[in-house]
């Protein structure tokens, strides 16, 4: 199996890790999206529920307000106060007062109902209103409408029910509820608890309206008694007046052809009716204005016998229902739920970003370590093979020539130095990774230090057929860790010996000087091909050379420059690279002298 194949196989593991990370992140994101949608939906539903509840409360208040005002108004339509005359022009919301009498046609024996003026005075305007009334509705249609309500009233009227003087379609519905309530008098509280809120509200409002009618329409008590005395135990089909008398009702509101009428039996006429034609449009507008603070843009529609009566929105004083406008969508208000979701999303994004960065760093470190192991394995294989072969030859006395024996021993020494250098780099880097403390330092003279390390540097360059040229260093003292700095300079020289030996100029220049009395500057330059531009961004990265690269280029694991830069940083200095025009590489080490009194602010 080739090195390239092994390297290609290692790439699949990071991809699997990233796929697993993406899958986990997607699951968490989907869960948080679902949770967010559920929380926002609950928030909207709660807001809509509050709006509906507020609308219901406003509707109840509006119905009570309207019924409390309509009761006295209806009771005094036919009997205005003593200081007012019966005149439609003087009463608001009234189109006309009328009377229905039975007229006998000369050609027929059966009388027919007709509208006549409620006053005996001749008034052109009254005649015009009477003609307009006749065009809208006939007297017989109005009587038939009353006949449709009264039989339903007779069904629910019993001796034990409190009788009232006013009725309409809504009163019939409420009377049925009251009748059922009386039937279960032993468990009345249980009946009320089982009754829907709308029915119970309508029943209470209807009772309040009947009380208002009894207070504002006092003549009903005597009329009921007279009717009861004149029709004792009447059986069979009753006339309209007889039905009025048996039910005890003296006032009724009915709808005929979308027109609202208030009628009652005519005084002094057993077969006549008198009533008021109500200006429904004007009354409806006034009713809407009176509840505009509760329900803006409210409307009212008639309630007839064949309608499905909704007690929650139906008036008790009039056979009409309140049509409330649909609540406007709730404004988008920032709530604690939004704060919690925002924090959750921010936490998720931050955690995902941190995890991705950490995972990327971890994978990169794992790849570099794997690359390092591969490169070290390659670097160890060659000297170990050499050791094994040469020691085997020497131990068996298979090399008889003294010159060959000396050459073999020199090769073993060089390979030993190579292994020592490799191991020193790895151990020093590992030590710097584990701790940031600087080893003990000592004050040295720059010139003496260069003289002490130069033999080792020259020997390493001579192994590659290169020479070292050292410029006259500046005299001065330096407080540093000499072994660490020696390792830095040796790594730079070793790097030049590996990659610049193919150049036309085999010289390596080393310039050491103290600048501004507070900084040591050491430059190592060669005349080789330099560092390719594509590799310049990673030359200081540890373990940057794979086994394949180690096999195709100079020996090494890519740790020397990384160790040199990290050592310089640990001592408060820098190590930089600069390409030389015409070919070559230049590395510059800048380290503070570390002597008190020489630091510049």
Q: Which residues contact 586 (CB under 8 A, 6 or more apart)?
A: 523, 524, 525, 526, 577, 578, 579, 580
381 assigned to some structural domain = yes
The DSSP string of 64-126 is HHHHHHHHHHHHTTSS--TTS-S-GGGSTTEEEEEEEEEEE-TT-SSEEEEEEESSSS--HHH
Q: Are both 388 and 283 inside the same structural domain?
A: no
Residue 65 lies in a domain: no
Check whether residue 408 and residue 544 sit in a common domain: yes
Given this model, what pLDDT does residue 315 score? 92
Q: Which residues, 6 or more positions from 13, have their beta carbon under 8 angstroms from its beta carbon? A: none
Residue 105 domain flag: yes
Write 410-418 long-range contacts (CB < 8 A, 24+). 411/386, 412/386, 412/387, 414/463, 415/382, 415/383, 415/386, 415/387, 416/383, 418/383, 418/555
- Domain end, chosen from 306, 323, 340, is at 323
C-alpha 360, offset from chain centre: 30
For the chain, state the CA radius of gyration. Answer: 55
pLDDT in the model for residue 435: 66
Highest mean pLDDT among 29-33, 220-224, 323-327, 390-394: 29-33
**Which whole number is the average pLDDT over 48-75?**
90
Element spanning 455, H or E: helix 446-462
In this structure, which long-range contacts are made by residues 354-361, counting pairs with CB atoms below 8 Å and at least 24 apart in sequence? 355/21, 355/25, 356/21, 359/17, 359/18, 359/21
The CATH number of whichever domain residue 500 belongs to comes to: 3.30.565.10
Task: Report H helices in 511-577.
Answer: 547-552, 560-570
- Residue with more model confidence, 597 or 484: 484
Does the structure show a pLDDT above 60 at 218?
no
Q: Which two tokens stand for residue 104?
A: 């006998």
How many distinct structural domains can be found in the chain? 2
- Residue bearing the bigger pLDDT, 249 or 418: 418
For residue 43, is pLDDT > 90? no
At 350-390, the pLDDT tens digits run 999 999 999 888 887 777 777 767 767 766 777 788 888 88
In a domain, 243, yes or no: yes
> What's the sign of the alpha-carbon dihedral 62, 68, 74, 79?
negative
In a domain, 59, yes or no: no
CA distance 337 to 347: 15
pLDDT tens digit string along 484-525?
Answer: 888 889 889 988 888 888 777 888 999 988 888 788 999 999
Clarify whether residues 227 and 301 are in a common domain: yes
Burial of 83 (0-12, 13-18, 19+ CB in 10 A): exposed
In a domain, 48, yes or no: no
What pLDDT was estimated at residue 30?
A: 94
Q: What is the mean pLDDT of residues 281-306?
A: 90
Q: What is the pLDDT of residue 7?
A: 41
Same domain, residue pair 312 and 420: no
Angle, CA of 536, 430 and 586, to the nearest 5°: 30
Highest mean pLDDT among 51-65, 209-223, 439-453, 491-505: 51-65
Looking at the structure, tell me whether residues 243 and 126 fall in a common domain.
yes
Determine contact, residues 188/232, Cβ cutoff 8 Å: no
For residue 39, how many other CB atoms are within 10 A of its CB?
A: 16
CA 517/CA 592 separation, integer angstroms: 9
The closest alpha carbon to 522, from 457, 467, 459, 461, belongs to 457
The answer as to whether 19 is a domain residue is no
SS3 481: coil
List pLDDT tens digits, range 63-79.
Answer: 999 999 998 888 888 87
Q: Based on the fold, state whether residues 258 and 179 are members of the same structural domain.
A: yes
Polymer length in residues for the chain: 601
Same domain for 317 and 386: no
Rounded mean pLDDT of the chain? 78
Pairing of strands 507-515, 467-470: parallel
- Are 311 and 199 contacting, i.e. CB atoms less than 8 angstroms apart? yes
Could you tell me what percentage of the chain is helix, strand and coil, using 3-state DSSP and rounding each to the nearest 5? Answer: 55, 15, 30
Together in a domain, 180 and 267: yes
Token pair, residue 133, equals: 């009334």
**The domain containing residue 281 runs over which residues?**
83-323
Q: Please state, in angstroms and as integers, the Cα–Cα distance from residue 377 to each residue in 8, 374, 557, 562, following that order.
A: 18, 5, 9, 19
Mapping DSSP to helix (H, G, I), strand (E, B) and coil, where does residue 330 land?
coil
Residues 190 and 301 in one domain: yes
Q: Residue 539 phi/psi, 5° resolution? A: -70, -25
- The token pair at 1 is 């199996």
CA distance 147 to 258: 17
Of 285, 306, 323, which marks where a domain is finished? 323
| Sign of the torsion angle spanned by Cα atoms 311, 312, 316, 322 | negative
pLDDT at 151: 59
Kindly state whether residues 295 and 411 are assigned to the same domain. no
Domain membership of residue 352 (yes or no) is no
pLDDT of residue 59: 92
Which class for 493: exposed (0-12), middle (13-18), buried (19 or more C-beta within 10 A)? buried
Cα(56)–Cα(195) distance, rounded to whole angstroms?
Answer: 17
99 and 207 share one domain:
yes
| Pair (379, 318) in one structural domain | no
* pTM, entire model: 0.55
| Residue 264: pLDDT over 70 | yes
């Amino acid at each position: 199996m080739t090195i390239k194949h092994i390297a290609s196989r290692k790439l699949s593991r990071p991809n699997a890790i990233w796929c697993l990370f993406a899958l986990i992140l997607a699951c968490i994101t989907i869960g948080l999206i679902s949770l967010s949608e559920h929380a926002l939906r609950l928030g909207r539903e709660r807001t809509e529920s509050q709006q509906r509840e507020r609308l219901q409360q406003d509707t109840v208040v509006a119905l009570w307000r309207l019924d409390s005002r309509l009761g006295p108004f209806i009771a005094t339509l036919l009997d205005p106060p003593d200081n007012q005359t019966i005149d439609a022009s003087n009463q608001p919301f009234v189109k006309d007062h009328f009377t229905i009498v039975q007229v006998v046609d000369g050609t027929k024996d059966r009388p027919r109902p007709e509208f006549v003026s409620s006053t005996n005075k001749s008034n052109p305007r009254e005649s015009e209103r009477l003609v307009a009334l006749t065009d809208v509705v006939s007297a017989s249609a109005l009587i038939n409408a009353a006949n449709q309500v009264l039989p339903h009233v007779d069904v629910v009227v019993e001796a034990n029910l409190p009788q009232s003087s006013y009725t309409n379609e809504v009163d019939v519905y409420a009377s049925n509820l009251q009748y059922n309530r009386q039937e279960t008098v032993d468990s009345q509280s249980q009946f009320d608890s089982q009754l829907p809120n709308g029915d119970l509200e309508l029943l209470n409002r209807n009772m309040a309206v009947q009380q208002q009618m009894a207070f504002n329409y006092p003549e009903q008590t005597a009329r009921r008694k007279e009717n009861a005395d004149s029709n004792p135990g009447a059986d069979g089909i009753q006339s309209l007046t007889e039905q009025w008398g048996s039910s005890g009702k003296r006032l009724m509101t009915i709808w005929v052809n979308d027109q609202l009428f208030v009628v009652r039996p005519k005084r002094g006429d057993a077969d006549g009716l008198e009533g008021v034609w109500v200006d429904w449009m004007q009354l409806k507008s006034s009713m809407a204005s009176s509840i505009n603070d509760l329900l803006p843009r409210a409307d009212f529609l008639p309630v007839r016998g064949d309608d499905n009566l909704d007690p929650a929105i139906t008036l008790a004083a009039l056979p009409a229902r309140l049509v409330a406008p649909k609540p406007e969508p709730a404004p988008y208000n920032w709530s604690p739920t939004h704060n919690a979701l925002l924090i959750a999303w921010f936490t998720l994004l931050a955690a995902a970003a941190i995890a991705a960065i950490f995972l990327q760093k971890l994978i990169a470190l794992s790849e570099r370590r794997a690359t390092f192991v591969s490169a070290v394995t390659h670097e160890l294989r060659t000297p170990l093979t050499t050791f094994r072969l040469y020691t085997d030859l020497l131990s068996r006395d298979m090399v008889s020539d003294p010159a060959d024996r000396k050459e073999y021993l020199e090769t073993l020494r060089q390979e030993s130095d190579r292994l020592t250098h490799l191991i020193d780099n790895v151990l020093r880097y590992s030590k710097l990774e584990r701790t940031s403390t600087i080893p003990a330092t000592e004050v040295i003279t720059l010139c003496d230090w260069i003289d002490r390390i130069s033999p080792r540097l020259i020997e390493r360059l001579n192994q590659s057929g290169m020479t070292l040229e050292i410029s006259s260093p500046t005299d001065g003292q330096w407080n540093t860790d000499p072994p660490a700095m020696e390792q830095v300079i040796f790594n730079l020289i070793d790097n030049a010996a590996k990659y610049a030996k193919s150049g036309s100029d085999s010289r390596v220049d080393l310039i050491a000087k103290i600048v501004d009395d507070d900084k040591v500057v050491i430059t190592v330059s060669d005349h080789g091909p330099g560092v390719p531009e594509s590799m310049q961004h990673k030359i200081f990265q540890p373990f940057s050379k794979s086994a394949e690269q180690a096999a195709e280029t100079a020996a090494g694991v890519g740790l020397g420059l990384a160790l040199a830069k990290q050592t310089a940083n640990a001592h408060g200095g820098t190590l930089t690279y600069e390409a030389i025009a015409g070919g070559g590489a230049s590395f510059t080490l800048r380290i503070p002298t570390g002597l008190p009194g020489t630091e510049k602010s």
